[in-house]
Chain A
């Protein structure tokens, strides 16, 4: 189960008790964990990390490292209860308010919170593009979802975020193409026995913290079961091109076809487009596709490598 604290802070009693009950169920020492911690007089004092502040001359890559250090200092949230409720459809301004609250309350976070925080902490870096990258992976019969904040600085791609796995979060902005970045994540997943199934790429996020725009989380949806390796790469590069051209879904009709070549970046594609297919529909993997992952995993009391 995945619990979310929806009542703000301090955590209300029902949510608090639910958190401890969950811990008691999943930890081998059961309720002893709660007994040791709850009400203990000698708990370590955890300093509240300082939000990084930069001189105007600080290079962007260095700022990104500092932002990532800050995110890491909050720690990945392993408690089983997410402390900040994030509604992805909220206007950016509301999400930025939430990010500000995260910096004040300074609690452990998970990947989606880290993305919102990453946006907040990089809003003043106007030469840095930020866009969400979502992953859906398969491991041992289950599907897992993860998200990072892709960044593009001077044509070099990287990522900010937080994960249980070190290789699935921060990437320095050194990748020359978006494909290289995503393939790097794919390889990192492979090293922890996850098979990448789907990638969703969002559009660039506004730098205006008071914007009422919503974050576009799924400008491109790439189902790896339906794409050859080359098509996957091409779609990633198409998305990168879209971002460079700042073409969004907008509210108006698509530009006239005479002005657009068949392969020009556009989210307004027909049903034949790979990323428009319903991935829950008929799947007929071609011979070029990878076979389904059917390796038997050792059963460590049902342990799942989560990311």
Chain B
């Protein structure tokens, strides 16, 4: 019996090449970045929404004050 054959059969798999594992890692990092960005976007949107509302309210008061 060829000793190489037995050794090949017993070699543990995963067969996934390193490149594929790297891709999985990158995808995971991308996903984390997206989640982080999403959280910051909504936090920013809250601030900017409040600003817009304040400015709109002030403007409406001015318009009403000027007898529009």
Residues of chain A whose beta carbon lies under 8 Å from any beta carbon of chain B: 9-11, 16, 19, 23, 27-28, 33, 37-38, 40, 43-46, 75-80, 83, 105-108, 164, 193, 297-298, 300, 303, 305
CB distance from A7 to the nearest CB of B (A): 12
A82 to chain B, nearest CB (A): 12
Among residues 6 to 47 in chain B, which have CB atoms less than 8 Å away from a CB atom of chain A?
Answer: 30, 33-34, 37-45, 47
Chain A to chain B contacts (Cβ below 8 Å), 24 pairs: A9-B37, A10-B30, A16-B37, A23-B44, A28-B51, A37-B47, A40-B40, A43-B39, A43-B43, A46-B39, A46-B42, A75-B45, A75-B49, A78-B45, A79-B45, A79-B48, A83-B41, A106-B38, A108-B41, A164-B52, A193-B63, A297-B63, A300-B55, A303-B55
Starting from the known contacts A27-B47, A106-B38, 18 additional A-B residue pairs (CB-CB under 8 Å) come to A11-B37, A16-B37, A23-B48, A33-B44, A37-B43, A37-B44, A43-B42, A46-B42, A78-B48, A79-B41, A107-B41, A108-B41, A298-B62, A298-B63, A300-B55, A300-B58, A303-B56, A303-B58
In Å, the complex CA distance between A193 and B60 comes to 10
Instruction: For the complex of A and B, list the 6 residue pairs with the smallest distance between their C-beta atoms, beginning with the closest.
Output: A78-B48, A298-B62, A43-B39, A10-B33, A10-B34, A46-B42
Q: Distance in Å from the Cβ of A135 to the closest Cβ of chain B? A: 18
In Å, the complex CA distance between A106 and B39 comes to 11
| B68 proximity list for chain A (CB < 8 A) | 193
* A298 B59 Cβ-Cβ under 8 A: yes
Distance A78 CA – B43 CA, assembled complex (angstroms): 11
Q: Residues of A contacting B48 with CB < 8 Å? A: 23, 27, 78-80
Cα–Cα distance between A83 and B66 once the two chains are bound (Å): 38
A160 to B15, CA, bound (A): 51
CB contact under 8 A between A9 and B34, given known A76-B49, A300-B59: yes
List B contacts of A43 (CB < 8 A): 39-40, 42-43
B61–chain A nearest beta-carbon distance, Å:
10
CB-CB under 8 A for A46 and B38, given A37-B47, A40-B43, A79-B44: yes
Q: A37-B40, A38-B40, A43-B39 are in contact. Are A27 and B45 (CB under 8 A)?
A: no
Contacts of B34 in A (CB 8 A): 9-10, 105
A78 to B40, CA, bound (A): 13
A297 to B43, CA, bound (A): 32
Contact B37–A77 (Cβ < 8 Å): no
Contact between chains at A75 and B42 (CB < 8 Å): yes
A44 B39 Cβ-Cβ under 8 A: yes
Q: Which of B42, B47, B59, B66 contacts A33 (CB 8 A)?
A: B47
CB-CB < 8 A to B40: which residues of A?
37-38, 40, 43
Asked if B47 contacts A298 (CB within 8 A), the reply is no
Contact A300-B43, Cβ < 8 Å, known A16-B37, A75-B49, A305-B56? no
Name which residue of chain A comes closest to B33, CB basis. Answer: A10
CA distance in complex: A15, B32 (Å): 18
A49, B62: Cα distance in complex, Å:
37
